[in-house]
Amino acid sequence: MKNLIVIFWCIFLLQSCKKEVSKQEDYMKIIQGKETNTTIIYKNGKLVSSEVFDKKQGYIDSKYVYKDGAVVKIYQYYPDKKVQSYSYLFKAPHNYTTTEYHKNGKVASEGEGDYYKANNLYLKRGEWIFYNKSGKPFSIYAFMHDGKKQYVKSEILFDTITGKIKKDTVFNPPFLLESGGFVPIKSSNSKNK
């Protein structure tokens, strides 16, 4: 009888420990950096989301949603907490469809790109449509990238009043897009002067 009671108590203790372990599978981890804090949330032992808080500016900069360890949604925010951009995984492992927004909430641009999680790098590719603040399309740019830098292959500019094409340009070679400006790529035939 004593052995039966001891076995019963052992089983009871093991079951209560098992419940504690399952409760611990839902947890939050905070990584403090110099300029940002990252909050990582796990549910049932799996990574489900992370948020990056910009300490200097005092707002949530971005949020990442995960499924099976892969980033499936990316949100970036303005300081007033409005969505600046939204990306969702279109084709694994890193092809995303993205919509960027003006501060007034209207769509600013939309297109596809590749997000390289290891480098926290998003590079546009394919055709992107750009809209003015009232929501009218004014240009289409075609992008390409080499996995490190993005380039502009062509641009189409619209007259927002008439809706007609004002300019249609193909860049050969493509332009390197750096710091918001265009830098022509030197061809292998050109000589430095």
Q: 43 with 32: CB under 8 angstroms?
A: no
Nearest to 36 by CA among 72, 62, 75: 62
Please compute the mean of the pLDDT values over residues 139-143 and round it to a whole number: 95
pLDDT at 10 over 90: no
Residue 163 belongs to what H/E stretch?
Answer: none
Q: What is the CA radius of gyration of the chain?
A: 25
Amino acid at 96: Y
pLDDT digits (tens, 9 = 90+) for 14-70: 455 444 444 558 889 999 989 999 999 999 889 999 999 998 888 999 999 999 888
- Residue 21: predicted pLDDT: 42
Burial class (CB in 10 A: 0-12, 13-18, 19+), 143: buried
pLDDT digits (tens, 9 = 90+) for 176-191: 887 555 554 444 443 4
CA 7 to chain centre: 53
